[in-house]
Chain A
Amino acid sequence: MTSDLRNRLLVMLVLPLCLLALIGVWLDYRSADEAAARHDQRLLRLLPALADSVLAPGADPQEQPVWLLAPPVEDFLRSSPGYSGFSVRDLSGRLVLGDDWVHGAVPATHEPEFHSVEVGGITYRVAVQRGRTGAGEMVVALADGSDPRQRWARHLLLRVLLPNLILVAAAALAIHWAVGRAFKPLVDLAAAVERRSPRDLSAIDEAASPSEVRPLVHSLNQLFSLVNAQAESQRRFVADAAHQLRTPLAGLQAQVEAWALLARSGVKTADRAPGSERKSTPGHDRKAVSAITLGAVEIEKLRDATRRTSQLAHQLLALSRADARSLDAQAMQRVDLQDLCESLLGLYLDAATGKGIDLGLDAQPVHVSGHDWLLRELLSNLVDNAIKYTPAGGSVTIRCGTGADAGGAVRAFLQVEDDGPGVPPAEYARVLQRFYRVPGTEGEGTGLGLPIADEIARAHGTTLTLERGANGRGLRVTLVFPA
């Protein structure tokens, strides 16, 4: 977000600055040009004076003519010693007077000519004119090294371009810094929102944000609370629905369970002596039982379906309770994992024995900080799943203890391993989704056991790890507690 803004500000501010710098350079050049023209004018004015300085030819053509520098020329030469010079040549180009380096082609006309000569690293402006002198027609030349164009070119980099470049760079830096600085609260806000988990919809601290973004924070918070309220009402609806379902289900199940028990024990309920029942016992009870024509197997099927429905209602309730948002208010306690494992072992021993499964324990003493009833629910779901999907003769092991993680830190874990058919690794992520069932799975799962366990793991700041069990068979589900 800021880099885009930064770039736009840079372009918007640096481009005009560069333009200004160019205009500055051009103006500077213009003034240098004017100064140069003035210099040329001056040289032009001095040329006749130089011609006049040659008074008469020498006695011998090889000798110097009689000459006396005119005062303006002398002043000129004296004003910039080292940077000026003159020469007087005859028409053949032979030096008659002055400095040899001041030369130029012999002009064909009497018009003054200008050209530049470089001597010793200095570029001289040389004005040459053919003119009459006291010694006949000669070529006089004046050189001026203090050419403003020269100096301008020399100083262009140092005096004009460099300050402008520094200015532009400084402006860019200032913009970069200022944008970063000015937008830091906004960037912080964005990062804070980005860092949040999808489950965290708590309000952002409005007081901590600068006044400019406070309206934004305020509306964000309003949105959060709206979404929160909606999620909460949905969660409560599921909880209420599951809860309401359980009352009629309890009745249904109690009835069907009793029928199943009776059908199995073969008691002729119709023969039961009346009078052992008393008070508010409803009379239709016995009538209903005596009308049963279903076999024990059918009734047990009915009972199993009822148990499954009850379990589903219970799991839905557990799922809505395990929701991290509803747990924030509850403090974690110290949970004895070994104790938990032992109590779950006792709870599922009959179910496992009934199915011919060897349910075992491998528990080391270890304590963690967590929600006791949720961890019980988690373990209960894992053990229930393992027993459900492991065929007779298999074994299920409940483990807890401590182990070193990748970083070498000691962390507590809870684990349930079976040697049943397992879950294909490609399905690991999907079996944690609600109501998903591995295709081709038999048994009476609800598709909620692992999702509940995963939700509970998340409420404890960790996740479930699914992998193959020992010898590459079965499923091993592990929950490693955060250090």
Chain B
Amino acid sequence: MRLLLVEDDIMVASGIKLGLADAGYAVDWVGSGERAEEVLQRESFDVAIVDIGLPGMDGLELTRRLRRPEMASHDMPVLILTARDALHDRVQGLDLGADDYMVKPFELPELLARLRALLRRSQAATTAVLAFGPLELDTANRRVGIRQEADGSLQPIELGPREWTVLEYLLVHAPKPASKDKLLQALTGWDKEITPNAVEVYVSRLRGKLEPHGVSLRSIRGFGYRLELQQP
């Protein structure tokens, strides 16, 4: 994954770079909005992290510019970093086309999780494949399976249409938990007279099929379910 980091604070930038490189990202770092715009005209990235408080052109202006239709980066996910966490800034950041924001100082694992979520969303929008760990769900070809670490092949899993609906919904929202009510709503497309118990039935069937492959479906008390990777 190629990532563009736009940050003027050397300490923050080198920390992020170090952490992200370790997580497998190829990080390009520039210290100003003007430089970022230049780089973006020549090269393309999978995702960008933009600090708001940049010298010269600020992060919000940069986000606005890289969203222009003629830019190749117009559909690139952007995560904004800000030391200003007033409500005003938050709303403005998202209005101008940022996909997510984080307030400095932040915890690196959370930044990584947000980046993964951003990438999954943009991936799903373009490739129609939803992935979670080794689990992959191809919405275009209606195939679901486990990607094998050894040879890279996909070991298919057989799912009924309602199980598919539940898994798709869970995958779209992972790693956030999905509420039982929402799952029920997703299922009512199939059955008009569906009961809350039905969700439990499909979840337990999915568990039987996924848990042998290291993907678990955890119940969240009072709320719903969440896809989790079993710790080895």
Contact = CB atoms under 8 A, between A and B. Distances in A.
B165 interface: no
A262 interface: yes
Interface in A289-326: 289, 306-307, 310, 313-314, 317, 321
A290 B87 CA distance: 41
Interface string B198-220: 00000000000000000000101
A254 B11 contact: yes
Nearest to B23: A261
A247 B223 contact: no
A362 interface: yes
Contacts of A279: 28-30
B108 interface: yes
B108 A360 contact: no
Interface string A256-286: 1111111001010100100011111110010
B9 A258 contact: no
A363 interface: yes
Given A246-B105, A261-B22, A280-B29, A360 B223 contact: yes
Interface string A207-237: 0000000000000000000000000000000
B12 interface: yes
Interface in A239-262: 243, 246-262
B88 to A, nearest CB: 10
B71 to A, nearest CB: 20
A261 B107 contact: no
Contact of B108 (A257, A282, A361, A362): A257
Interface stretch (B13-21, B92-100, B127-135, B187-195): B13-21
A414 to B, nearest CB: 15
Contact of B179 (A251, A278, A307, A342): A342
B10 interface: yes
Contact of A349 (B9, B13, B87, B177): B177
B26 interface: yes
- The number of chain B residues touching the other chain, given as a range, is 35 or more
Contacts of B222: 360-363, 397
B221 A251 contact: no
A346 B177 CA distance: 6
Contacts of B218: 353
A70 interface: no
A261 B18 CA distance: 9
Contacts of A258: 14-19, 22, 108
Contacts of A345: 177, 220, 223
Nearest to B83: A246
Contacts of B103: 314
Given A307-B107, A346-B177, A373 B15 contact: no
Given A307-B107, A359-B220, A373-B87, A250 B14 contact: no
Contacts of A307: 107
A33 interface: no
A346 B176 contact: yes
What is the predominant secondary structure among interface residues of chain A facing chain B?
A: helix
Nearest to A285: B14
A336 interface: no
Interface in B105-127: 105-109, 113
A255 B22 contact: no
Contacts of A113: none
Residue in B21, B106, B222 whose Cβ sees the most chain A Cβ within 10 Å: B222
Nearest to A354: B109
Contacts of B26: 276
Given A250-B9, A257-B107, A358-B221, A285 B17 contact: yes
Residue in A251, A260, A265, A313 whose Cβ sees the most chain B Cβ within 10 Å: A251
A265 B18 CA distance: 12
A359 B228 CA distance: 15
Residue in B9, B22, B31 whose Cβ sees the most chain A Cβ within 10 Å: B22
A281 B17 contact: yes
Contacts of B12: 250-251, 254
B18 A262 contact: yes
A254 B105 contact: yes
B14 to A, nearest CB: 5
Contacts of B30: 279-280
Interface string A187-200: 00000000000000
B104 interface: yes
B11 A252 contact: yes
Interface string A368-385: 000011000000000000
A342 B223 contact: yes
Nearest to A362: B222
Nearest to B51: A250
Contacts of B83: 243, 246-247, 250
A278 B218 CA distance: 42
B67 interface: no
A249 B105 contact: yes
Interface string A395-422: 1010000000000000000000000000
Contacts of A277: 17
Nearest to A358: B221
A314 B84 CA distance: 11
Contact of B221 (A247, A252, A255, A397): A397
B106 to A, nearest CB: 7
B23 to A, nearest CB: 7
Interface of B: 9-19, 21-23, 26, 28-31, 83, 85-87, 90, 103-109, 113, 175-177, 179, 218, 220-223, 226, 228
Q: Sorted from nearest, which 5 A-B pairs have the closest CB atoms?
A: A251-B11, A254-B15, A360-B221, A257-B108, A258-B18
Given A247-B104, A258-B19, A258-B108, 15 more contacts: A246-B104, A248-B11, A254-B13, A255-B11, A255-B18, A257-B108, A257-B109, A258-B14, A262-B19, A279-B28, A280-B30, A282-B10, A289-B18, A345-B220, A360-B221
6 contacts: A250-B11, A253-B106, A261-B18, A262-B18, A269-B18, A360-B220
Interface of A: 243, 246-262, 265, 267, 269, 272, 276-282, 285, 289, 306-307, 310, 313-314, 317, 321, 342, 345-346, 349-350, 353, 358-363, 372-373, 395, 397
